[in-house]
Structure 1
Amino acid sequence: MTHMTPTTRAAVVLGVAVALTAGLAVAPARAHAAPVDPSSTSVTASPTTASSPPARSSKSAERAIAAFTSRGERGSTGAPVSPDPASTSVPSVPSVPSVPTVTTPAAVSQTIRTTPTTTLFRGGLYVDPAGEAARAATTLTSEGRTAEAAAARTISKQPVATWLGSWLTDAQLVKKIDGTVAAAEKVGATPLFVTYNIPNRDCGSHSAGGSADNAAYLRWNSLVASRLAGHRVVVVVEPDALTLISNCPEQTSGREATIASAVATLADAGVPAYLDAGNSNWVPPQTMAARLKAAGVDRARGFATNVSNYYPVESERAYAEKVSQATGGARYVIDTSRNGRGWKGTWCNAPGAGLGVVPSVQTGTTKLDALLWIKTPGASDGECNGGPAAGKWHASYAVQLVANRATG
């Protein structure tokens, strides 16, 4: 963070006081996550080699606090509403030489940790009418594949996270973020993003890739943070990154510190983040809690479990509550996208799996913030159990997920 003059410090203290006065307390199976279908973009170059688009101007400390506070007042409460697809269009993005670091106060982190879920997700979760499932439905309909199109259309009606990674150039990344945020704000809903670009991603397995090195990753993360700053959004940080330390320690040395730096940048931008924490059948709670602490969970909203996996909500809540207690009360979210039939013996395009309960924001007394569809149901985990490459739409699998979906 840059040095602040006494006048700026006074403004920070005043901004925090105003926010608080207003009441804003704004082995085992892998949790493998596949990237967004690379075929949905025309360029797949890594953002480390692409030209950098413009970032939003850095905010003063007082403006950052005011922006986060105002996010809790935008939109209306209630179920998410699908916007007009035309609202996703955004202007072309010119190029500039560099991405400035977002410099907003660390005091915002406490606001992020204490904000009620009804404020954090005010307006409901955003349903993207141009999301991956919706695009698949359009394509399948044009090919006359009626049953597969219907399954994709069923999935497209639910709020699903937007994944960000190395399959997008910097210009495409900015367009994706800005377009999604603008469309969500038009209907007053809260969009969910996933960052998935850590170096040595997926230990070189089906979803291999990511940034070239830690420096490139942190520059990329700064770009993401600069586009999200000042908006009501939620981010899940790097599925599998901390859990895979158990699987490929030689490829993940120092990863906690890298994620901690990325989380700090998001927090300084006023962005609530959930660090991925695997699932109930992978890393023991105490071990995962130690990794989360080292990765900066104290600057984040909390952590996420069951991303891209199949374990029942009850199992995940029991696991997450132990992790929460060991991390000083961190809050959490659970991915229910494919857990409608529970664990099926494999993480990769598991036969017999079904959609889980639809996403919802929780308002109970536990540390559970929301049940979310973080993984895109219907997107392949990789070339396993008859699936295409990771991130490609697996039409027949989507049909199975819908047929086996949870009821109630």
Structure 2
Amino acid sequence: MTSGFYTDPSSGPAAWAAANPGDGRAAAIRDNIASRPMARWFGAWSGDIGAAVGSYVGAADAVDKLPVLIAYNIPGRDACGGHSGGGAGTPAAYQAWISAFASAIGSRPALVVIEPDSLGDFSCLSQAQIAERNGMLRGALTQFRDRAPNTWTYLDAGNPAWIGAATMAQHLDGAGAREAHGFSLNISNYFTTGENTAYGNAINSALSSTYGYTKPYVVDTSRNGNGSNGQWCNPGGRRIGAVSQTGGGGAEMLLWLKTPGESDGNCGVGGGSAAGQFLPEVAYKMIYGY
């Protein structure tokens, strides 16, 4: 339906490079990060969600490119990590927000990852909170099915070191994965593509044997060029990975879902920063892997 993935001209690295043309790091950041197709994250900071999503998807559609969007506003967001906490105040508020999100896409093509970490965080939620969250995720999938028929939706399945494959398959099915196009892996993390495809294939084996279906999956390769050192919050020595593309060792797509150089929170080499803040020195070092 499109001629490739959309590159956001107003991403954090693009805006920084444009505002700092005399900085010795600007050209490398512009050429190796800002010029690459990446996802845009949407949450409370986006303001009027219908207007924000509609503008972004419209800009992509105008140049015949496929936008990748991440919905990140579920109540109790980042329950385990904490650095990106927040979200809509109530399930009703979330339903209204995600409905407006889907309606703004309409019939235009898009890829949407629904709520990173939302299934991995179950260990930090009560059974009542898990049931409530599953209801919100199933409701979100229904909204996209009904209001955005040309959108491929993905539930997030965490990463290979977080939740066992059989347990994650159970979480996915409970959240309505049968109605999703697929699931996403490694968002904002660093595990290699090979580690992720092994995990994704194991999840599908569990889905098949227990529930009778499988789903395609995508892998966030934005920061996995050097793999993981076991830390998830701004570890040093990481490197950008394979650029967004279809296929990849069993994955449906490899995508840059996290923006390289954006902080994971006040931790690691991003000490003193807020989650989502663009850090040019971190971005620059990530290009070269040091």
Give the TM-score taking structure 1 as reference length: 0.65
Aligned to 1:299: 179
Q: Does 2:63 match 1:187?
A: yes
Please tell me whether the aligned partners of residues 222 and 255 of structure 2 are also in contact (alpha carbons under 8 angstroms): yes
Instruction: State how far apart, in whole Å, the 2-side matches of 1:251 and 1:209 are.
Output: 19
Map 1:5-44; keep pairs closer than 5 Å. Answer: none
Which residue does 2:152 correspond to in 1?
272
1:334 aligns with 2:219: yes
Counterpart residue identity of residue 277, structure 2: K
Q: Residues 133 and 153 of structure 1 are in contact (CA less than 8 Å); yes or no, is this contact kept in structure 2?
A: no
CA contact (8 A) 1:152 1:395 kept: no
Q: State the partner residue of 2:262.
A: 379
The answer to which of 328-337 and 385-394 deviates more is 385-394
Q: How many Å apart are 1:140 and its aligned residue?
A: 2.7
- Which residue, out of 31, 36, 42, partners 1:158? 36
Residue in 1 that maps onto 2:83: 206
1:146 Cα deviation after fit:
2.2
8 Å contact kept, 1:196–1:239: yes
- Secondary structure of residue in 1 paired with 2:232: coil
Tell me, in whole angstroms, the C-alpha distance in 2 between the residues paired with 1:272 and 1:212.
Answer: 26
Amino acid of the residue matched to residue 122 of structure 2? I
Aligned: 1:319 with 2:199: yes
User: What is the CA distance between 1:363 and its match in structure 2?
Assistant: 8.3
Q: How far is 1:302 from its partner?
A: 0.7
Show the counterpart of 1:224.
Answer: 101
Structure 2 residue runs of 5 or longer lacking an equivalent are 208-212
Structure 1 residue ranges without an equivalent (≥5): 1-71, 73-121
Q: What are the superposed Cα offsets for residues 6-32 of structure 1, whole Å, 9 maximum, x if unpaired?
A: xxxxxxxxxxxxxxxxxxxxxxxxxxx
- Number of the residue aligned with 2:72: 196
Q: 1:399 aligns with which of 281, 284, 287?
A: 284
- Aligned 8 A contact 2:155 2:182 in 1: yes
Distance in 1 between residues matched to 2:205 and 2:145, nearest whole Å: 22
Tell me: CA distance 1:191–1:370, structure 2 relative to 1, closer, same or farther (3 Å): same
Number of corresponding residues: 279
- Aligned mates of 1:154, 1:330 — CA distance in 2: 31
CA RMSD in angstroms, aligned pairs only:
1.8
Answer whether contact 1:136 1:149 (CA < 8 A) is retained. Answer: no
Structure 2 residue identity aligned to 1:312: T
Q: Distance in 2 between matches of 1:306 and 1:326?
A: 19
One-letter amino acid of the structure 1 residue matched with residue 168 of structure 2: M
Shift of 1:250: 6.9
1:125-169 residue CA offsets vs partner (Å, 9 max, x unmatched): 11112222211212232xx42215632552011100011101122
Checking the alignment, whether the CA contact within 8 Å between 1:127 and 1:160 is kept in structure 2 is: yes
1:352-407 CA-partner distances (Å, limit 9, x unpaired): 0000111101288x4x21000001111100011242111111111101111129xx
What's the counterpart of residue 92 of structure 1? none
2:50 pairs, out of 163, 174, 177, with 174
132, 135, 138: which is aligned to 2:18?
138
- The letter of the residue matching 1:182 is G
Give, in whole Å, the separation in 1 of the partners of 2:247 and 2:89. Answer: 38
Percentage identity across paired residues of the two chains: 38
- Per the TM alignment, residue 257 of structure 1 is displaced from its structure 2 partner at its CA by 1.8
Which one-letter code corresponds to 1:238 in the other structure?
E
Which has the larger displacement, 261-270 or 334-343? 261-270
Q: Which structure 1 residue ranges, 4+ long, deviate > 4 Å from structure 2?
A: none
Cα distance change of structure 1 residues 148 and 384 upon mapping to structure 2, 3 Å threshold: farther
1:377 and 1:251 map into 2 onto residues whose CA distance is: 36
**Residue pairs, 1:241-252, within 5 angstroms:** 241-249=118-126, 252=129
Asked whether the 8 Å contact 1:200–1:251 carries over to 2, the reply is no
CA contact (8 A) 2:236 2:269 kept: no
> Which structure carries more relative contact order (alpha carbon 8 Å, separation 6+)?
1
Shift in Å at residue 258 of structure 1?
1.4
Residue type of the alignment partner of 1:319: Y
Contact 1:338–1:355 (Cα < 8 Å) also in 2: yes
Return the index of the structure with the highest Cα Rg: 1
Among residues 124, 128, 139, which one is paired with 1:261 in the alignment? 139
3-state DSSP of counterpart to 1:202: coil
